[in-house]
Amino acid sequence: MARYLDDLSSQLMGGETMETIASRDTLALFRNDLKDVTLADIMGSYGEKFAGTAATLEPHQISSPLLTDWAGYIIRCDQKVPSVFDSTVVVHLQIKRQMRIQQLSQNIFTPKEIEDYRDEFFE
């Protein structure tokens, strides 16, 4: 797989386009549908390595071959649009808030120790 990706990478560096390579190579799959997605979405779908590599790319830049546990990728960044508001931050903050509330409630509502008032005579 690594040799195959290196060959594709050298073709790209030689001036070939991804579309041209994908049209003649049956193993290469060209996807152009990762638009309007956040890094959290990419991480959930493709993994941390893919998301990290995609985040470091500048527009019109092509990554070096990336091998993951289940696939190999060469990523091209066509456009980067900074997100003013990332909805994943809200979810992260809600989770942190819920964890804080659980920790506080455990400290406040610790059950009292049960005392045994039974008379030994009746046992």
Map out the domains of the chain as residue ranges.
Answer: 2-77
Entry pTM = 0.57
Q: How far apart are CA 92 and CA 29, in angstroms?
A: 34
The neighbouring-strand residues paired with 66 are 73
Predicted confidence (pLDDT) at residue 106 exceeds the cutoff of 90: no
Q: What is the pLDDT of residues 75-94, one digit of tens each?
A: 888 888 777 666 777 888 88
Predicted confidence (pLDDT) at residue 122 exceeds the cutoff of 90: no
Q: Would you state the structure tokens that stand for residue 14, as one six-digit string?
A: 């030689």
What is the arithmetic mean of pLDDT over 25-40?
76
Select the more confidently predicted residue: 106 or 56: 56
Predicted confidence (pLDDT) at residue 99 exceeds the cutoff of 80: yes
At 86 the pLDDT is: 65
Predicted confidence (pLDDT) at residue 9 exceeds the cutoff of 90: no
For 2, phi then psi, to 5°, come to -65, -40
Q: How confident is the model at residue 53 (pLDDT cuts 50, 70, 90)?
A: very high
Predicted confidence (pLDDT) at residue 18 exceeds the cutoff of 80: yes
* pLDDT over 70, % of the chain: 93
Mean pLDDT taken over the chain: 83
Give the DSSP letter string of the chain. Answer: -HHHHHHHHHHHHTT--HHHHHHH-SS--------S--HHHHHHHH-HHHHHHHHHPPTTEEPPPEE-SS-EE--EE------SS-HHHHHHHHHHHHHHHHHHHHHHTPPPPPP----GGG-
